[in-house]
Structure 1
């Protein structure tokens, strides 16, 4: 069992999680582009095959850490949850703008607070609840602004429902991530998660496989690199701070999603973004302030 050194401040874990969320958000854009070209499941399979190949040299250089049976089971459990979460999320994301998809997915952190209490035995402090609620209100403000900007047909409704269900799996993923980070190092987590996900999607490949073109390969290769970077950052950060401290930081992903949606897909933002972003930043500050004062 790995026992990480305790930092003198939560600043570095928070910054690591911010970097991880940024990497995942840019990866979302790459995977949306790939999914539009070859389908969600083919894109996810290719991404995780590329990511497993990328992390293999790091795993070898780290001394080939092999998990115990208990930890290996946890690795696979999180991979299975992540597979369902990712399939639902990208199924929804190809049907609605990125900013809207991210806004809906932020139901996850508030659920994660209660999963953390149930599965990790963490105490839910009032500041953590307030932080999550501020972030959630920020997402509601932004989501209301986005949904009020246009008309939405059956595809958009289907996409919205898929992302709502994905958020539940994402909440469980956040808590398993914290538990996993306390038992294994970032490189081990990244290698086995990428390998397990590739294996899970490979089993079902005969039912959905689409031959990718050069552009789709480029986007999935970028997605694999970004997913690996995100896993390393998040695993390091979650090993060094409580889930309830880091959960509000998840809200920063909206800023990156909005930027990527605008740059790559020409998706525009309404005026509610400013108000919502203010609430998100305030929530992140409230969530980390308690831990900083205690250290």
Structure 2
């Protein structure tokens, strides 16, 4: 893939992340009145239903035995990352949680090298470092004191690691399986893995959502599926370390949604960091990739 071909998949992936950030805002809203596990399962239940409709309409692409091991592992990583990240939203602002999760792009190049044999290119690694500097600028002044907020920080760190592994596995299967199958598996497998955990919820938290909340859960499924569809298309066109810095584009979206829907302040440092992040993404998109 040549330099000129790198920008398009990055734009597609950035669009997917915008949908996923909107989904995170809906999740933060639902977390106010529902247990985190209920919200996570609701997200993947509606996501699976919508993905099944798309899968059926696409001619029911085959789900082969060969593809299951990778999708089971990816589903486990998605389930762990989702639960940890969604729980962090109960104690951190949306922009803080997104910002602190940006260790994932830094982890992607070495994981892609270890798991897929992708050659680590210094331009992509340096772009990731530059993007993370943007994160450090953006997070200046954030208050992460207190035991609960420290647990939130730990949860985001765990979510970043499992999310990075899921991204690498997405790259491994996106081109072979297609976005329809990848999206279906990315919703169905976490649903099957998380649903049994409902038995461990205290009875007072095992409350099903009211009918008035159902449109929000449908919106969760729709936003999540759109985001994963676009990301899978991006990862089918470019390798994992080239696309890693686009994760940083989630920060401006998180700041916007946090301000618009939750009244969370947006410090000037966030926008300065966002500019640095954008520069990192552009640099990564111009880095030469191996010819296909």
Q: What band does the TM-score fall into relative to the shorter chain?
A: over 0.9
Distance between the aligned counterparts of 1:236 and 1:6, measured in 2? 17
User: Is the Cα–Cα contact under 8 Å of residues 245 and 291 in structure 1 kept in the other structure?
Assistant: no
Q: Which residue of 2 aligns with 1:146?
A: 142
Say if 2:137 is the partner of 1:127: no
Say if 2:275 is the partner of 1:278: yes
Distance between the aligned counterparts of 1:45 and 1:169, measured in 2? 18
| Corresponding residue to 2:72 among 76, 84, 90 | 76
> What stretches of structure 2 of length at least 5 have no aligned partner?
none
| CA displacement 1:61-118 (0-9 Å, x = unmatched) | 2221122222112111111110001101111111110111111100111011100111
User: Is the Cα–Cα contact under 8 Å of residues 3 and 286 in structure 2 kept in the other structure?
Assistant: no
User: Is the Cα–Cα contact under 8 Å of residues 7 and 286 in structure 2 kept in the other structure?
Assistant: no
Say if 2:168 is the partner of 1:175: yes
User: Is the Cα–Cα contact under 8 Å of residues 7 and 240 in structure 1 kept in the other structure?
Assistant: no
Q: Which residue of 2 aligns with 1:254?
A: 251
How do 1:282-293 and structure 2 match up within 5 A? 282-291=279-288
Helix, strand or coil for the counterpart of 1:144?
Answer: coil
User: Is the Cα–Cα contact under 8 Å of residues 181 and 236 in structure 1 kept in the other structure?
Assistant: yes
Q: Which residue of 1 aligns with 2:217?
A: 220
Distance between the aligned counterparts of 1:199 and 1:15, measured in 2? 32
User: Is the Cα–Cα contact under 8 Å of residues 52 and 191 in structure 1 kept in the other structure?
Assistant: yes
Q: Which residue of 1 aligns with 2:86?
A: 90
| Corresponding residue to 1:159 among 147, 152, 167 | 152
* RMSD between superposed Cα atoms in Å: 2.1
Distance between the aligned counterparts of 1:258 and 1:123, measured in 2? 34
How do 1:18-97 and structure 2 match up within 5 A? 18-97=14-93
**How many residue pairs get matched?**
288
User: Is the Cα–Cα contact under 8 Å of residues 108 and 167 in structure 1 kept in the other structure?
Assistant: yes
> What stretches of structure 1 of length at least 5 have no aligned partner?
none
